[in-house]
Structure 1
Amino acid sequence: MTELDAARGRLRLTTAELADPGAVAVSPRWARELLDVVARPGLRMTVRIVRPGPPLWHGVWATRRDAVLGSPVGAGRYELSPLEPVLIPFAVATIVGLRRRPVDPARTATRIPTSRYLALGDEPPGGEYAGLAAVLRGRRTAWRASSTWRDSGGEPHAARVHVIDGGDAGLWLVAPKDQDGPDPVLVVEPTDVRQVWSALTGLLGRRVRPDAERV
C-alpha cells in the first residue's frame, strides 16, 4: 500500500508496486512524476550492499532531467525520493559509505576462481589465499553497483563495479578476468577512493547528456 509524504516529497510503496509502477494509483503530480521516471528511465542502476544481516538493495532511475532514488525502509517496502541527476554518484557514494582508506603498497592483485572467492570468507586462516581471506573476514562491507542504458544510436550498454571495503585493509576492486570455463576467474586488486569514484561515475554512461535515450 502506498504512503505519501508530501512535506518531504517522498513516496513509500511495496516491492510488488515497485515492480509495476505504471499501475500504482496516486493523485499528486509530484508522486506521479516519481513513478513515471521509475516506469520509463533512461538509466537503471542497482546497488547491493552486503553487511552483517540480509543484503540491502537500493535503486536509481533517471531520465535526462530527473532521477529517483529508491531506498529500503523495512521488509518488502521502498521509499522513492527525487534526486538531481548530477548528484547520482554522490548519493551512491553516501549509500555505500565510500571514503578514504589506507593504501598498503605491499598489497598486490590476486587471481582467484569464483567458487573459491565465494567461500573464502568462511575458510580457516592459512592457505594459498590467506591474505585475501583475512581481508574478507575483516571487511566492513562489500557492495556492487550496476547500470544499464542506451546511447543515441539505440545501442544498449552496461557497466558494473564491485568493491570490498576492508576498513584498515583498504579498498579492493573485484572484476571478472577469464570468463571461459565452468569456474570463471576473478581479479581482486587493491585500489583507492579515486579509482572507485571513477568507476562509480562510469556507471552513468551518457545518461546526463541530451542524447541519452530511454531503455
Structure 2
Amino acid sequence: MSEFINENPVVLDNNQLPSRKDGGSQEFLLGDVTDEESVQRKKLLFKLDHSAKSPALESVELLDRLLLLDAPPDLTSDEESEETEEDFHDASETEKADPIDAQEIYDLLAHITDPEHPISLGQLSVVNLEDIEVHDSGNKEEMAEVIVRITPTITHCSLATLIGLGIRVRLDRALNPRFRITILLKKGSHQSENQVNKQLNDKERVAAACENDQLLSVVSKMLSTCK
C-alpha cells in the first residue's frame, strides 16, 4: 500500500484551479474544505491495491521497456533537416507575434486526467502554476522553451513516467514546433527522479513509445478531458 507524502492531501475542485481571471494566484486553495465526507472519498482514490494490476500499471511496464531501449538512430538527412528549417522560417514570417505564458501552459495541462483516477492533474496538484517556466519572446523565428516540473503524489509513484508522457504529448500537439519542451520531476519528489527525467526528455525514445497502440490508448484517455 502506498503512503502519502502529505498525510492529509487536499484534492481541489475544478473551480479552485488558478485561472487568468484570478491572476493565477493559488493562495486561496489552501483554505479549509467543508465537505469532510467528500474529502475522505477522494483520499481513498489514492490508495492503490498493487495485488491486482490495473491497465495503467501494465502500460507503465510497457512504457519502461520502450524507454529503456537503445534510442533509434536519427534517420533525417542533413538535406531534409535544412529543408524543414527553411519551411519553418517561411511559415513563421506570416504568423503574428503572440508570446505564450505559464498560465496558458497550465490551462493546457490542468485538466489531463490521472491514469488511474477520475481526477485531473490540476486537482491533484501534480501540475502547479508556479512550477511552469516559459521563455518566449513572441518572435516566431526564435526558439522558445517550456519547462514543466511535476509533483507525483508519492515518492515512489509508479505512474510518474506515464503522467510525464501524457504531458509531453499534450504540449507537442498544442504548441508550435519552435517550442523546446522539458518535462522534469520536481526536485526531491521521487526516488527515481534522475532516471525518469532522462527517459521523458529523450525525444527518440518518447517517439517510439508513442507508436505503441496500448500506450497511445491510455494517453488518449488521459487527454480526452482537456479543454
Measured against the shorter chain, the TM-score band is under 0.3
Whose helix proportion is higher, 1 or 2?
A: 2
TM-score normalised by L of structure 1: 0.23
TM-score normalised by L of structure 2: 0.22
Whose strand proportion is higher, 1 or 2?
A: 1
**Larger RCO (CA within 8 A; separation ≥ 6):** 2
